[in-house]
Chain A
């Protein structure tokens, strides 16, 4: 009994002592932000708690001595710590937990759902939104370049608001799209690059109005198994965009601003007056012409000598960029909200060219009951593009071509005609050859062009979980775009009618509705057979309305607007409509998280095809084996993760105009002899037999993680065979039609991709490397009965040739400059030399596709400093410098300025020169046309470019706290600072303006007076509180 009492007293004592032992702690994440709701557990006991809103916790009633506690939180690595607590004491400690670095467990958005990366058997690359923000371009897709293997992004040009070309694993389509499908929060968005054709040598960019700062993550779906769920529209890959939502408890505000300057990466080397006249005279003399040379624009020789306009200087300056982004988020137990606001003003280096975007977004989720959730996403944006003509249409393009240094900007004195009337006063703009296009300054000052795009993307989703494992989702969305192109020509623009001013407007309105309903069911049997079932349907409808209006009058003072006093009305000139219905299902299975299999089927119906071919069925299957889960590898010291995955599948494509199957008749009043006529449109004859373009893809990949995933990456091979390619073929004109849509031939894409991420140094000084490289091989496998000339890339000499890649340069080969005569020597089809240039001798030349593309990124971190160096590169592949056929060609009366490269020309017998003797007539060059396409203009396009170099500094916590901020970072970045290349043109990173989708796919390596990319210096401030 005594013993019992002693024991009781002892325990009591212990207990009393216990009451006085306490651990107080605060849990922080790597960003020094308090972690709310983290679980804190005393190991080997049932004692535990969670952190409060300030990340604080208190554990009382502890035993004195060593106490082991563990802190865990979803998405973070567990942290264990043993603390010695002296009797009766309270210990206060800070706990810093790290976000989980195991990328295999991150969640990846897949079509109509989310999966753990580990569980995915298809090929998907995930990119974080902030990576896209590194490049200060208005459009998010530019930020993707070099970041995912097999994803190629070619930024349009240095013009603000220009469109990029995005290709996933090469291009499998020719006339029907070619760009990946973009899906924002589940909505396949409107993505037409040719709403405004090629107006002013510029294609509109449908992605420019999307605010990059709203983007949480981007998933790039590459293989058929991943894209299969998008069936008919996934054949060129899918890019899924997820926007930000409120995640962290409490209120959070993030603000960032960027200020910077921009300039061209390189400048053209145009001749000045002295050089131009000297060369012109030499050409004149070479042709045996006598007397004073007749100059373009009817300019007298002496006047020419007294003028020297540097047009390039006149059209470019230093650009400015500013952006302000504000994000406010809030999350509670049952709801979360994100609101984002953004203003970006990008004034390019081209004077008068800018893109200004204002955007707002509101995303929210509300857990109505424990089994029902409502989500809402809505965005509103306005993109205003103040435009300048470019390339062949004027501006910098004119400065590189038709604007000669011998032309003055202004009339130097009054011009009086034979009748004694003053037709020009000194100071009036000078229009060479009556053509304002040859005076880019006048063109800029006498005209305003502005494109204004208002866009709203909205989505409502209802998610129900009526049973364990069953999730029903119903979603409705609207992507609405209102797009206007305004043009105002000031008095003086029309030289024949100098008092007249004109205002025009073209408008489009695109309303794209999308509904889907999806059921997901997850079930595990016997703790090892994990099943996922998905069944869904989707309906999409899109309608485009076109409007046009114009006003000609002498008192117009600006753009047309609705409140304009004149009676103009936007006339709805036409509309187009298409729709789409799909049913789809997916079953995935895994055994013990080791063996995975997935089957996907989708049946699509499209209004674009005739009655017999409306529906297509697109199945895919994939399997994966996580080898590292097997016992023989489980404890391996080197290999921490190894997955082999493979997939096969069929995708489709229907991206043709909505009414291609129909033949159309038109009627014109007052057409001939004042009478009405009707006639079949020569555009395209009816073809009710059009059907789906289909791609069969095989994919094999290996994902690896070494040394506890310090090194990780992927190696992939793919092979995609596309058949029944939808082509807008040129038909024999003798049929009475110019073109027709047809399913013709086949295209094969195959390639290899390799990526590696390594944490090279993981100490106080951190160094991480991310490298990826990919090679795509593309080949036209069949063209049916058509010849090379059936499909051409716009005005470019690119063709489809069996056995060669899409967009093959089809050119006469240039052999050499004849040392005796100075004439160019070409090769005929058989390789024999000839002085005659004829299209009969065109052959496949050059290498269109690069040997490899990729990116390498180095991130360094030391204390509060971070440094990022990101290079993108393209190895091999030729660029066709199409404008040099004139800039380095004949000195014709049409008058283009020339480049100084042409100094290396033949002058006397025996000369060994790069370029032939100068001439004013194409006959000297063995041709009837002064624009002679040969492989002389084909150059190696290899380049490496320092895309981003940035140095950042995170302000010390103390300072931040004093300023009542959560975090603050300041950084300086330079973009495109260094370019290493042998390309003799201006910029090896090119994507010219295109006429239509066929041209876009066929002419990836053509430059034609294309403006160089911009180089920029940016100062960025990021704060959060």
Chain B
């Protein structure tokens, strides 16, 4: 009998190792760098750090990544070398598998998700002032609008493609949740973007260090209204920014400086200091031809020849170089031949050119328009134009094409002019052919009901 007791005792001992309720709770170890989401946002400082992360990921999206995709659809660019995702965009046959596209798209929405989280969580924090609360929401909404707009330009036909803009736009994520996202109409997209920008304009400070200001919101509104071919509003906001005297045209052609400059209305920054080298604008480095004989991105020789033929010797010299390799000559780009650039996402030059064109198109002050475009021409060593009406318009548009080349603006302008005049081409393709709109990443199509863009080239 003794051995039975002994046996049962031993067995019970082994069997009783299980005990309390939270026995099966195994949480990830909270460290300085990783913690549970429920513990993440407790103070105003946490909110501010989360806000900075929205800038961070916006800088990732707009460090040339989104601009290059836009540029590749246009006519300033040669077929890219050795980058199949880029070649696909250049061929205007984008499909759901393009990893580069999907990366850009994802980053923009990560920024938007975080902005939504900020707007949602701002009231949960007790140690925050009302002013900071408003500012944080205004910055969040500015960035949300900025990212939505960047995506809208690429993934949908432009405003005006249908008369009431009832054609499909993009997914507008205005709430903090993970629900299925379906595309809104372009009209709705622009309405929501402008609503965000209005809030930003009303609540952002005049000065905010290197972050978004009231003026950034106004400049953005000028850009958005110009996209909509709303000339009066475009000119109104562009002039407000110009006349604020907070921003000036640079004397130099280089507004991609490694640091602040007077043209930056809103810029993302590369940080160098404290032993940290944080290079942003890295996708622009695909153009870099001073240290690379085989850059991915090169200028189309047609564009270069047009620029040279227009007597544009200063920009031709400062921004372009010929590359000889393997018996072939191609045109390299020098515009981004440097490290640690700050990327001016909204700059005075754009305001000048937008204002000039909007004024002409709106039938307003042609003289003023000429002043703006001539300021840009003068800097490039070109004589002032005396053209009027349609010729002036042509001059302004050519000036914009040359001055803002490789900044991701060209394709938008082709489309915008296409809407206005119903005739515009990019490398022989009509402005509104399906391939001029980028296909959504396959992930968007993981739930039923999402409408992909029509696939197919523009050939």
**A residues engaging B (CB < 8 A)?**
291-292, 294-295, 298, 300, 369, 371-372, 433, 462, 464-467, 470, 472, 474, 515-517, 519, 537, 539, 574-579, 581, 605-607, 611, 614, 658-659, 662-668, 670-680, 682, 685-686, 729-738, 740, 785-787, 789-790, 792, 836, 838-840, 892-894, 921-923, 927-931
Q: Give every chain A residue within 8 A of B116 (Cβ-Cβ).
A: 736
A951 CA / B113 CA spacing, docked (Å): 68
Instruction: Judge whether B416 is part of the interface by a CB distance below 8 angstroms.
Output: no
A664 CA / B28 CA spacing, docked (Å): 9
Task: Tell me if B11 and A731 are in contact (CB < 8 A).
Answer: no
Instruction: Judge whether B447 is part of the interface by a CB distance below 8 angstroms.
Output: yes
With A678-B46, A789-B443, A928-B88 already in contact, the answer to whether A734 and B181 are too (CB < 8 A) is: yes
A734 CA / B443 CA spacing, docked (Å): 9
Task: Tell me if B447 and A790 are in contact (CB < 8 A).
Answer: yes
Instruction: Judge whether B301 is part of the interface by a CB distance below 8 angstroms.
Output: no
Task: Tell me if B112 and A736 are in contact (CB < 8 A).
Answer: yes
Instruction: Judge whether B418 is part of the interface by a CB distance below 8 angstroms.
Output: no
Closest to B95 in A: A839
Can you list 18 A-B pairs, Cβ within 8 angstroms, ordered by A? A300-B326, A371-B7, A474-B14, A515-B14, A517-B11, A574-B29, A581-B23, A605-B23, A607-B25, A662-B27, A665-B37, A682-B106, A732-B447, A735-B173, A792-B442, A922-B88, A923-B93, A923-B459
Which one, B3, B15, B49, B82, contacts A371 given CB within 8 A?
B3
Q: Give every chain A residue within 8 A of B328 (Cβ-Cβ).
A: 294
Task: Tell me if B26 and A579 are in contact (CB < 8 A).
Answer: yes
Query: Which of B50-58, B235-243, B282-290, B347-355 binds A?
Result: B50-58
Q: Give every chain A residue within 8 A of B82 (Cβ-Cβ).
A: 433, 893-894
Interface residues of B in 144-191 (CB under 8 A from A): 171, 173, 178-181
Q: Give every chain A residue within 8 A of B18 (Cβ-Cβ).
A: 537, 539, 581
A300 CA / B325 CA spacing, docked (Å): 10
Task: Tell me if B84 and A466 are in contact (CB < 8 A).
Answer: no
Task: Tell me if B443 and A838 are in contact (CB < 8 A).
Answer: no
Which one, B171, B271, B452, contacts A674 given CB within 8 A?
B271
Q: Give every chain A residue within 8 A of B53 (Cβ-Cβ).
A: 671-672, 677-679
Given contacts A472-B10, A674-B273, A922-B88, 9 further A-B contacts (CB under 8 A): A517-B15, A579-B23, A673-B210, A735-B179, A735-B181, A736-B109, A740-B178, A789-B446, A893-B82
Instruction: Judge whether B444 is part of the interface by a CB distance below 8 angstroms.
Output: yes
Task: Tell me if B56 and A464 are in contact (CB < 8 A).
Answer: no
A893 CA / B87 CA spacing, docked (Å): 11
Task: Tell me if A474 and B95 are in contact (CB < 8 A).
Answer: no
With A733-B102, A894-B82 already in contact, the answer to whether A786 and B446 are too (CB < 8 A) is: yes
Q: Give every chain B residue within 8 A of A607 (Cβ-Cβ).
A: 24-26
Interface residues of B in 400-421 (CB under 8 A from A): none
Task: Tell me if A579 and B109 are in contact (CB < 8 A).
Answer: no
Q: Give every chain B residue within 8 A of A671 (Cβ-Cβ).
A: 52-53, 56, 278
**B residues engaging A (CB < 8 A)?**
3-4, 6-8, 10-11, 13-15, 17-18, 23-29, 31-41, 46, 49-50, 52-53, 55-57, 59, 81-82, 84, 87-89, 91-98, 102, 105-106, 109-110, 112-114, 116-117, 171, 173, 178-181, 210, 269, 271, 273-274, 276, 278, 293-294, 325-328, 441-448, 450, 452, 455-457, 459
Q: Give every chain B residue within 8 A of A614 (Cβ-Cβ).
A: 24
Task: Tell me if B278 and A576 are in contact (CB < 8 A).
Answer: no
A614 CA / B23 CA spacing, docked (Å): 11
Q: Give every chain A residue within 8 A of B455 (Cβ-Cβ).
A: 838-840
Closest to A682 in B: B110
A614 CA / B117 CA spacing, docked (Å): 29
Closest to A736 in B: B113
Task: Tell me if B171 and A734 are in contact (CB < 8 A).
Answer: yes
Task: Tell me if B112 and A467 are in contact (CB < 8 A).
Answer: no
With A575-B29, A839-B95 already in contact, the answer to whether A734 and B36 are too (CB < 8 A) is: no
Task: Tell me if B32 and A667 are in contact (CB < 8 A).
Answer: yes
With A678-B40, A923-B457, A928-B88 already in contact, the answer to whether A581 and B443 are too (CB < 8 A) is: no
Task: Tell me if B106 and A658 are in contact (CB < 8 A).
Answer: no
Q: How far is the CB of A803 from chain B (nearest CB, A)?
A: 16
A578 CA / B325 CA spacing, docked (Å): 58
Task: Tell me if A668 and B33 are in contact (CB < 8 A).
Answer: yes
A292 CA / B328 CA spacing, docked (Å): 10
Task: Tell me if B93 and A928 are in contact (CB < 8 A).
Answer: yes
Q: Give every chain B residue within 8 A of A737 (Cβ-Cβ).
A: 113, 178
Which one, B10, B31, B57, contacts A462 given CB within 8 A?
B10
Q: Give every chain A residue within 8 A of B98 (Cβ-Cβ).
A: 929
With A581-B18, A674-B276, A929-B84 already in contact, the answer to whether A732 and B446 are too (CB < 8 A) is: yes
Closest to A672 in B: B56
Task: Tell me if A675 and B84 are in contact (CB < 8 A).
Answer: no
A433 CA / B325 CA spacing, docked (Å): 13
Which one, A467, A666, A736, A786, contacts B33 given CB within 8 A?
A666
A372 CA / B91 CA spacing, docked (Å): 79
Task: Tell me if A664 and B36 are in contact (CB < 8 A).
Answer: yes
Q: How far is the CB of A301 from chain B (nearest CB, A)?
A: 9
A470 CA / B33 CA spacing, docked (Å): 54
Task: Tell me if B178 and A735 are in contact (CB < 8 A).
Answer: yes
Q: Give every chain B residue within 8 A of A839 (Cβ-Cβ).
A: 95-97, 442, 455
Q: Give every chain B residue within 8 A of A470 (Cβ-Cβ).
A: 7
Task: Tell me if A894 and B36 are in contact (CB < 8 A).
Answer: no
Which one, A666, A673, A792, contacts B52 given CB within 8 A?
A673
Q: Give every chain A residue within 8 A of B94 (Cβ-Cβ).
A: 928
Q: Give every chain B residue within 8 A of A836 (Cβ-Cβ).
A: 456-457
Which one, B8, B14, B93, B443, contacts A731 given CB within 8 A?
B443
Q: Give every chain B residue within 8 A of A686 (Cβ-Cβ).
A: 37
A671 CA / B8 CA spacing, docked (Å): 60
Q: Give every chain A residue within 8 A of B271 (Cβ-Cβ).
A: 670, 672-674
A670 CA / B272 CA spacing, docked (Å): 10
Task: Tell me if B84 and A665 are in contact (CB < 8 A).
Answer: no
Task: Tell me if A291 and B35 are in contact (CB < 8 A).
Answer: no
A835 CA / B433 CA spacing, docked (Å): 18
Q: Give every chain A residue within 8 A of B171 (Cβ-Cβ).
A: 732, 734
Kindly list the 3 A-B residue pairs having the minimum CB-CB distance in the complex, ordered from nearest. A736-B113, A928-B93, A663-B37
Closest to B179 in A: A735
Task: Tell me if A672 and B55 are in contact (CB < 8 A).
Answer: yes
Which one, B56, B95, B446, contacts A790 given CB within 8 A?
B446
Closest to A680 in B: B37
Q: How far is the CB of B348 from chain A (nearest CB, A)?
A: 22
